[in-house]
Amino acid sequence: MPLDHPAPQDDLILRTKVDQLNDRLRHHSATDVLRVAVDAVPGLALVSSFGAESVALLHLTAMVDRDIPVLFIDTEMLFTETLVYQQEVAERLGLRNLRILRSEDVRREDPDDTLHQRDTDACCALRKTRPLNAALAQHGGWITGRKRFQSGQRADLDFFEVEAGTGRIKVNPLAYWQPGDVADYIAENRLPRHPLVARGYPSIGCAPCTSPVTAGEDPRAGRWRNSDKDECGIHFVDGKAIRLGSTTK
Who's near 244: CB < 8 A, 6+ residues apart? Answer: 146, 153, 154, 155, 156, 157, 158, 161
Annotated catalytic residue: which of 123, 124, 209, 232? 232
| Torsion from C-alpha of 182, 185, 190, 196, nearest 10 degrees | 0
123 is catalytic: no
Which residues are designated catalytic?
Answer: 232
